[in-house]
Structure 1
């Protein structure tokens, strides 16, 4: 989401945390930035989050069916939406404040 929303600070933080705490490779981080993953369940979440951005939070029945078919319950989908909205809020705050990137960056995609 941060890539789609143009939040360089959040993108740097998420990439750093994913690499350092999550053990994700640069390739995995690049995939996540593009709304994908090598893991099918994570890919479904990434696609759903990407659709939230693309549709301005107006996903359709097919979007919901896709994330449900990946094994997510309605309560888990609500949690995904909650995290996406939190990311949107932090993207806006950091973009408006022009927060300086003060951590090492990981991953290579923009």
Structure 2
């Protein structure tokens, strides 16, 4: 059971309700993560604003690959569950690719560089070396895309930490960080 309350859309603060309705319009449901964040309209607005802005960063497959790698690094079962579902159903990634992503890799040569970099940024809390930056650039990523990768790591780290603090009830098919991919 979640350690912080997860309000229904009806019980959420008034300032959060329009945002939750927009989430429902986009996803068809309002996942527990968004209802949890709704307790703070400012946090919910920040989360959905960052999420919306970063939906234009890179491509959906790479974004989901990064989300899986970061969730595994941070040990977040909620986000691993959500992003495994999204990766397979929205981004159409194979189970083998999802397993690779969880280990900080990808079967796609171009994406592999971004996922490895994102996993290292998460694991090292941003303390990456010159060689790490050079590898991402050599793979063809622009400096703007490097900034986007870091932003995706930050967005996912926020949701990982929030879900771990709250022990948010998982409302997706459950995936555990402690279980091999």
With normalisation by structure 1, the TM-score equals 0.93
1:25 matched to which residue of 2?
94
Partner residue, 2:112: 43
Report the alpha carbon displacement of residue 83 of structure 1 after superposing the two structures with TM. Answer: 0.6
Deviations 1:1-47 (A, max 9, x none): 10110100001111100000111111110000001111111100111
**Alpha-carbon contact 2:76-2:163 (below 8 Å) kept:** yes
How many correspondences in the alignment?
Answer: 110
CA distance in 1, matches of 2:105, 2:73: 13
What is aligned with 2:180?
A: 109
> Matched residue of 2:112: which SS?
helix
Of 140, 145, 150, 1:71 maps to: 140
Deviations 1:55-90 (A, max 9, x none): 221111000001111110000100110010000000
Q: Distance in 1 between matches of 2:167 and 2:123?
A: 23
1:88 equivalent to 2:157? Answer yes
Q: Which has the higher contact order (CA 8 A, sep 6+)?
A: 1
Structure 1 unaligned regions, length at least 5:
none
Q: Do residues 2 (structure 1) and 84 (structure 2) align?
A: no
**Cα RMSD, aligned residues only:** 1.6
- Whole-Å Cα distance in 2 between the matches of residues 102 and 55 of structure 1? 30
After the TM superposition, list the runs of 4 or more consecutive aligned residues in structure 1 that deviate by more than 6 angstroms: none
